[in-house]
Amino acid sequence: MPEVHHETVFFSGRVQGVGFRYSALQVAKEFEVAGFVQNLTDGRVQLEVEGADDEVKGFVNAVEERLHGYVRKTERTADRRAPQFSGFTIR
């Protein structure tokens, strides 16, 4: 099975209670990506996404642009691995 680009992204700031996860889900429909977005108990939002390099990077950048007024800090880590997700969901 071919490997895909995978990123784990943590967004900090005023990112919960502002429609962040729903907005990320809408942005995901514009890209060929799979994964999920979820709120964390520490107030951050976690995004797990995989797909082709340019699709994943474009998606994360689009989420940052769409929600820039709410995001104070973005932490991104990337790797390559076997695909683990099917579709994009809110958890």
- Tell me which of 14, 21, 66, 80 is the catalytic residue: 21
Grouping H, G, I as helix, E, B as strand and the rest as coil, residue 65 is helix
Is 39 considered catalytic here?
A: yes
Rounded-to-integer distance, Cα 17 and Cα 64, Å: 16
Distance CA 81, CA 91 (A): 22
Catalytic option among 39, 72, 76, 91: 39
Q: Return the active site residues.
A: 21, 39
